[in-house]
Amino acid sequence: MAFAQIVSRYASLVKFSHTLFALPFALIGYTYALCFTDATFSVLLLIKVLAAMVLARNTAMGFNRYADRKIDALNPRTRTREIPSGVITPQRALLFVMVNAVGFMLVALWINLLAFILSPVALIVLLGYSLTKRFTAWCHVVLGLALGIAPVGAYIAVTGGIALFPVLLTGLVLTWCSGFDIIYALQDIAFDRSQALHSVPARFGVRGGLVVSMLLHLLTLYAVVVAGLYYGGGVLYWIGAAIFIGLLIFQHVIVTPHNLSKIGLAFGTTNGVASVMYALFTILDMGLR
């Protein structure tokens, strides 16, 4: 089998395109550390941060697919995924997870001591998310936390310490991702209930799920404003914030209790564009200060 084909299969396994959800916020945390501390730019350190992000996400998504392989095989929406369809064996998927987890910890050690010390904690959150749907409807919040630690991790990589601003970004990402993951889970209400799996939509229904998602995104809006005020964001920051908030509103306009056909657009495209635009304008704003 050609190397490119193998890479393509594993990239599909972990939905590599969804890296756009957390990576832009990691880059904001990285940029903030450079602009608001005495840290100096290093190409090598940037490569380390990007490598850690990719390895961490590969670990999380690979384990999610491995842990859910039997569930995915029963769900008509997911039975064509790589493991249920036989494209990748469970054993190879688990090996992929282990290699990426070890790689993540080694890169963390290469970055600095605090990053290495906290790397097992990060892995516990990243791997633990995949099990939460078996016992709590609030599994979406755990996913949000798993993605939300990215900006804190990037800041730690640069400075070897923790600051308030990247923690604010963690809260922003946590509520944002939790909210759109609830929208995504609307597709599986009947299946989740039939398999005794937990989610906000499975517990509260379509309308209730959308209400919870909206409330979480109101908290996201608050976090966007607080983050901008905290570091003294300029015009570019608020342009990016306005685009981000507008796209949050857009997904709630196109996904309604009576029309769930646009969930794919709301989940992938809209949120991917939102994160990239927010990060782009925020990084430019910080860099041009």
CATH class of 17-287: mainly alpha
**Predicted confidence (pLDDT) per residue in 32-81, tens digit:** 999 999 999 999 999 999 999 999 999 999 999 999 999 999 999 999 99
Sign, CA torsion 114/116/119/121: negative
What integer pLDDT is reported at residue 16 of this predicted model?
Answer: 64
Task: State how far the Cα of 106 lies from the Cα of 193, in Å rounded to an integer.
Answer: 40
For residue 10, the tally of other CB atoms under 10 A from its CB is 19
pLDDT for residue 213 is more than 90: yes
Residue 4 scores a pLDDT above 90 = no
Largest CA distance in the chain: 55
Is a pLDDT exceeding 90 seen at residue 17? Answer: no
pLDDT digits (tens, 9 = 90+) for 155-188: 999 999 999 999 999 999 999 999 999 999 999 9
What is the Cα–Cα distance from 1 to 5, expressed in whole angstroms?
7
Average pLDDT score over the chain: 93
Q: Is pLDDT of 11 > 90?
A: no
Q: What's the pLDDT at 13?
A: 75
Residue 256 forms beta bridges with which residues?
259
- Are 213 and 182 in contact, with CB atoms under 8 Å apart? yes
If you ran DSSP here, which 8-state letter would residue 266 be given? I
Tens of pLDDT, residues 82-98: 999 999 999 999 999 99
- Across the range 108-117, mean pLDDT stands at 97
- What are the tokens at 102? 């070890």
